[in-house]
Structure 1
Amino acid sequence: MLTEERARPDRIRTRPWAWRLAVATVCFGAFMGQLDASIVTLTYQPLGTQFHAGPAAVEWVSLSYLLALIALLVPVGRFSDAHGRKLMYLYGFAVFTAASAACGLAPSLGVLVAFRVVQALGAALMQANSVALVTTSAPPGRMRTALGMQAAGQAIGLALGPTVGGALVSTLGWRWVFLVNVPIGIFALLAGQYLLPRTRQRAGGARVDVVGVLLLATATTAALLGLSVGSGLGLPVWTAAALVALALGTGWAFVRRQSASTHPLVDLRLLRSGGIAPGLVSGLCGYLVLFGPLVLVPVELGRRGESPLFAGLVLTALPLGFAVAATLAERLLPTTWDDRTRALSGSVGCVVALVLMAVLPSTAAVLPLPLGLLGFALGVFTPANNTLVMGAIPQSSAGTGGGMVNMGRGMGTALGVAAVTLALHLAPGEAGSRAAVAVLLAFALVALATTTDSKRTKASHNGN
């Protein structure tokens, strides 16, 4: 049973709503991942106090997780395409849950960072397969609805994260930010055994480009370490230039290897077809814009003397707007809008929201308005953009494509954390907050440009 996918009971599999149960189960993973992502930023201050570390060191509680996730998502997706997406997804739940417990018991910042890497392995097993499980479970014509359900699961996790995180940090302490994942993970693991479908179409040749993985990991780690040096990590200034040079060199070597490899980690042929590359860039920018405020707002309100709980309540407006859009967009938006129109309108909304953040006062009374608008715009943009990307990818490569989508998502999240931390360090106080918003606005404009210029292929998948 540990190496084979278990079939769903016939009383579940034969029901017309069985696909909804499968998607709902995937939503548990989406919920856990986004709850963890939005909750961890609220631990920065208590972690720094307990372990006597600065912001540039504490941010690696997030960055170590994200870097491991980025390196693992595509190879895990490819492996899952050949050996079973359901099986790998369930292993992901098990690893993520166990690692969450270990993070909650970590005795030092270094140990916590190490267990976050293990936690990222579990998250990679879940995330690389989540989009593929959704798109291959949904019947024809229901993929956007299914992806919207998954986005709603993400949105609920994001929406609860700041409030739950602020309450846990203010009462039980930062360790419970990680321990809260344990009961959710156990329940989801049991549900997945009975509700997720087995993999019907598998890709052959699951060989993993180990050298490619190492080059990608080195490039992304060096780039973010370079940003951390600029953010006050405590290393000599010259190391920042050396790290940037290392990132550029290994990044170039990674692209060259993917072009020449018979089993590339990233299939460049996919990137050249159907507007996939612009869609991935748009998705990266969208998640950068989503997660940047999760770092910025607690710091800004903390500077004004507000508690983590209060900061979490204010910050809830962002994921709450995302949740409203993800769950109600089908009713609120014109039925004549196709996915490209939705993605375009969402990216425009992001630009408008960030312009408001740039010109309005950064106070607790004002911030919920632009944050809520930003979240709503991203909730419209993200499912539509993901549908456009996945609709252009062959179903036999759905796991690999889902891994690419989530790799871009992870890179965007990591850059959002690092870029905002750098802006706050270089220009402390009010000026730092304005600089951080300007950075987020620049990436929102990139998302708008790539959405406008891309020529996307309409989604057309057959459900299982």
Structure 2
Amino acid sequence: MPATKPTSEPGISSWERGLVLFISALGGFLVTFMTSAVNLALPRIGEEFHTSAVTLSWVSLVYMLVSGACLLPMGRLGDLYGRVRVFNYGMVGFCLFAVASALAPSIEVLLVFRALHGVGLAVGSAISMALVVSAYPPESRGRALGLVVASVYVGLSLGPVVGGLIVHYLGWRMLFVVTGVLGLFNLGIGFGKLRGVEWREPKTGPFDVAGAAVYAVGFVCLLLGFSLLPEVLGVALLVVGAIGLAAFLRVEARAADPLLNVSLFRVNRVFAFANLAAFLQYGATSAMVFLLSLYLQYNRSLDAQEAGLVLVTGNVVQVVCASIAGRLADRVSTRLLASLGLGISVLGLVGFAFLGADTAYWYVVVMLCLVGAGVATFAAPNTHVVVSSVEASYVGIASAILAAMRQAGMNMSQAVATLVLALEVGRTAIQPADHPQLLSSIRLSFLIFVVLSVVGVAASLVGPRRMLRT
């Protein structure tokens, strides 16, 4: 088999391209569905295992930390040993440990299986986009990426709804079983129908184990530090994480075959600033649902179901706009299209900065739709910019870096919102007397997110006037 199988090779049929798109989209759906649905299962898990809220929080947290630690190593493994191969084995782990989680006899065993489950999440996040980029030529790549992004938003949208129904009627264990069984479709296609399709790059040295270890420690400390702010331990972990990532860059500069080619950031301006734009975009928008759920339930006295119906409108718009943006990415400048998406998000975030105690619900819905449309318009073109700005040998690691930026941005967004709430409202349970302070903290958070998003627009615009799509 050749070292790199170009997308124009006659051996890759349109049918095989479609199958690659299907497994990538289903993989993206499964990881986001599981991530968003498992929160609905936490109360039932706590009741069965008689565990504390703090321990329960680790059911989600350990999953995200391990996946973050594995993103770059999995992306590089895909480049070196075959993207389809690593994706398939990642899905084996995802399915296996989903079912194993359903059979866990204790909370301790469940946490171990959830940590191992996170490795499968990392593979899906790091390699699914790289598969699409490898399979599709530049002139139709945007449409395919748009469909994968849309599937991710479908997973985020259906997770709380379908996951809640499964947990309510069938129990929390069945949620893991259903997810694992759905993953078997990917395994059947990957191992059965795509045996002759593969992309890998020649190795120039052994796998960078030292770099992978240093990256994992630094990135986990960074994510955990964000989640623990404003506590002193959170600040300390952020400092350790920053030092760890700086050490990682130093190790990579000396490695024979580095996990991360540092020159991608130092020389490739488009790659560097497009990743920065992604970090800022997710940093500016990921805490939106959290803040608005507090606003709708505390300041507007809606119940959880009513608040959910309001919030889901943004997800619906994201699904629709992601597919449209993908198609547009094949026809217009992806850099400018991504920047337009960020600009649309700014409008919605500015609108949320002016929320009042009696703001009309239609206003909230319109702002949600603006942010949803902006995020969706940004996602696929930004991915296109990142992966098309590097050589074929770095597609996997480029996709993994973008996934890491996305996850770090999400954690930072939640950390900013939590920090502002702690300073404005305090760390005690929210009482009716705290509602004015809660509203002011929500406004302040959105003002901070506006600034982040505006900087993101500037970063997204950096680059040559005409992008060379490879």
Q: Same fold (TM over 0.5)?
A: yes
* Corresponding position: 1:38 with 2:36: yes
Structure 2 counterpart SS, 1:359 = coil
Q: After the TM superposition, which residues 162-241 of structure 1 pair with which residues of structure 2 at under 5 Å, given as runs? A: 162-168=160-166, 171-172=169-170, 174-196=172-194, 198-205=197-204, 207-230=206-229, 238-241=232-235
Structure 2 counterpart of 1:388, which letter?
V
Within a 5 Å distance, the mapping from 1:421-440 to structure 2 comes to 421-428=418-425, 429-440=438-449
With over 3 angstroms needed to count, the CA separation of the structure-2 counterparts of 1:140 and 1:252, relative to structure 1, is closer
Aligned residues: 444
CA distance in 1 between partners of 2:226 and 2:19 (Å):
42
Q: Kindly state the Cα deviation for residue 277 of structure 1 after the two structures are TM-superposed.
A: 0.9
Deviation by residue 1:115-166 (Cα, 9 ceiling, x = unmatched): 3221111122233221221011113411112211211221221222232244
Instruction: Give the match for residue 4 of structure 1.
Output: none
* AA aligned opposite 1:136: S
Unaligned runs of 5+ in 1: 1-6, 232-236
C-alpha distance 52-246 of structure 1, shift in aligned 2 (>3 A): same
1:81 and 1:399 in contact (8 A); partners too: yes
| Amino acid in structure 1 at the alignment position of 2:248 | F
Between the two structures, name the one with larger relative contact order (CA 8 Å, sep ≥ 6).
1
What's the counterpart of residue 242 of structure 1?
236
Answer whether contact 2:321 2:377 (CA < 8 A) is retained. Answer: yes
Matched, 1:404 2:405: no
In the alignment, what sits opposite 1:323? 319
Shift of 1:335: 8.4
Query: More deviation in 386-395 or 295-304?
Result: 295-304
- Taking the aligned partners of 1:403 and 1:386, their CA distance within structure 2 comes to 11
Identity %: 28
Q: Give the CA deviation at 1:167.
A: 3.7
- In structure 1, the residue matched to 2:354 is 359
- The 8 Å contact of residues 354 and 374 in structure 1, kept in 2 or not, is answered as yes
Shift of 1:180: 3.4
Aligned partners of 2:466 and 2:58: how far apart in 1? Answer: 38
Indicate if the aligned counterparts of 2:142 and 2:330 stay in contact, CA closer than 8 A: no
Question: Do the aligned partners of residues 179 and 422 (structure 1) sit closer, same or farther apart at CA in structure 2, a change above 3 Å counting?
Answer: farther
C-alpha contact (below 8 Å) 2:59/2:111 kept by paired residues? yes
Amino acid of the structure 1 residue aligned with 2:206: R
For 2:385, the aligned partner's letter is: L
Structure 1 residue 374: Cα displacement: 1.1
Give the 5 Å matches for 1:23-422.
23-43=21-41, 53-54=52-53, 58-106=56-104, 110-168=108-166, 171-172=169-170, 174-196=172-194, 198-205=197-204, 207-230=206-229, 238-271=232-265, 272-303=267-298, 306-329=302-325, 337-361=332-356, 366-422=363-419
> What's the CA shift for 1:447?
1.6
Tell me if the contact between 2:19 and 2:189 (Cα under 8 Å) persists in the aligned partners: no
- Provide the C-alpha distance between the structure 2 equivalents of 1:170 and 1:421, rounded to a whole number of angstroms: 29
Q: What TM-score do the two structures reach when normalised by structure 2?
A: 0.83
Q: 1:455 to 1:207 in 2, by over 3 A?
A: farther
Q: Do the aligned residues in 1 keep the contact of 2:21 with 2:148 (CA within 8 Å)?
A: yes
User: Quick one: structure 1 residues 326 and 85, their matched pair in 2 at CA, closer, same or farther if it must change by over 3 Å?
Assistant: same
Deviation (angstroms), 1:194? 3.8
Q: For residues 369 and 334 of structure 2, what CA distance do their matches in structure 1 show?
A: 22
Distance 1:146 1:241, change over 3 A: closer
> Could you tell me the TM-score, scaled by structure 1's length?
0.84
Contact 1:318 1:374 in 2 (8 A): yes
Superimposed CA distance per residue, residues 42-67 of structure 1 (whole angstroms, 9 cap, x where no aligned partner)? 5566667775645x765543332222
Cα deviation per residue 1:277-306 (whole Å; 9 max; x = unaligned)?
A: 111111222333443234334444454665
Shift of 1:319: 2.1
2: CA distance, partners of 1:300 / 1:118? 36
- Cα pair distance change 1:90/1:371, threshold 3 Å: same
Asked whether the 8 Å contact 1:98–1:182 carries over to 2, the reply is: yes
2:434 corresponds to: none
- After superposition, the CA RMSD in angstroms is 3.2
